[in-house]
A and B are shown apart, each in its own frame.
Chain A
Amino acid sequence: GAVVSQHPSWVICKSGTSVKIECRSLDFQATTMFWYRQFPKQSLMLMATSNEGSKATYEQGVEKDKFLINHASLTLSTLTVTSAHPEDSSFYICSATQGGTGNQPQHFGDGTRLSIL
């Protein structure tokens, strides 16, 4: 149980393109979803937290107009990288949790590798 699916797993696109990444909880309802970014040989960096039906909360230094997050249902959140540039190339990972209390583990997707040419 507690499977999180991310799509696409890999995308290459030209500079200036907008790219949408989907994150789905397949067998549970995710009240909260999270988006992370990971550069090579580095740890995961939390970008934003989203709760279903409300605006995402972005971490300091993350541009909300650059990284648009929509959490329209209890099983789907999307991250759109707008007008992507080579410096946005990274490994983007989502996670989901069933509850907002401190004892619910986050379940992670397998990530999306984004390469901007």
Chain B
Amino acid sequence: DAKTTQPPSMDCAEGRAANLPCNHSTISGNEYVYWYRQIHSQGPQYIIHGLKNNETNEMASLIITEDRKSSTLILPHATLRDTAVYYCIVSDHTGNQFYFGTGTSLTVIP
């Protein structure tokens, strides 16, 4: 079962930062937080992942709280092409299986 909860939908104005929250209060010490997004009728696209430190790459930033019970994905300057369903996933204890939750449907508004 998915170990994360996310708001079902969010809107963001084009050019503004999109902040997508995720709760994972039962995360274990060796479990990573992954973020993916899925555009309609395509496979999920990897965005970023982290263990406990904040991470940044060319796509986004990942902020993980100190107690690791929640995280936020930040898209610094949202574009229309960022409209997608965003999934926050906690890997299971073996580090293998991904159990997807319902995700957040982000709509970027012109």
Which residues of A does B touch, CB under 8 Å? 2, 4, 6, 32, 34, 36, 43-46, 49, 91, 93, 95, 97, 100-111, 113
Q: Which residues of B contact A2 (CB under 8 A)?
A: 46
Asked if A103 contacts B87 (CB within 8 A), the reply is: no
Which chain A residue has the least Cβ–Cβ distance from B28?
A102
Asked if B43 contacts A49 (CB within 8 A), the reply is: no
CA distance A16 to B97 in the complex (A): 31
With A108-B44, A113-B41 as contacts: A100 and B96 at CB distance below 8 Å: yes
With A44-B44, A93-B44, A110-B42 as contacts: A103 and B98 at CB distance below 8 Å: no
B40 to chain A, nearest CB (A): 11
Give how many A-B residue pairs fall within 8 Å (CB-CB).
Answer: 66
Q: Which residues of B contact A4 (CB under 8 A)?
A: 43
A20 to chain B, nearest CB (A): 18
Q: Which residues of B contact A104 (CB under 8 A)?
A: 95
Q: Which residues of A contact B31 (CB under 8 A)?
A: 102
A26 to chain B, nearest CB (A): 14
With A103-B49, A106-B46, A110-B42 as contacts: A34 and B98 at CB distance below 8 Å: yes
Q: Which residues of B contact A97 (CB under 8 A)?
A: 96
CA distance A52 to B47 in the complex (A): 26
CA distance A2 to B45 in the complex (A): 11
Q: Which residues of B contact A95 (CB under 8 A)?
A: 43-44, 98
CA distance A16 to B87 in the complex (A): 35
Q: Which residues of A contact B102 (CB under 8 A)?
A: 43
Asked if B44 contacts A49 (CB within 8 A), the reply is: no
Asked if A108 contacts B95 (CB within 8 A), the reply is: no
Asked if A43 contacts B43 (CB within 8 A), the reply is: no
Q: Which residue of B2, B43, B94, B97 is within 8 Å of A108 (Cβ)?
A: B43
Q: Which residue of B34, B45, B46, B100 is within 8 Å of A43 (Cβ)?
A: B100
Which chain A residue has the least Cβ–Cβ distance from B34?
A105
Asked if A45 contacts B43 (CB within 8 A), the reply is: no
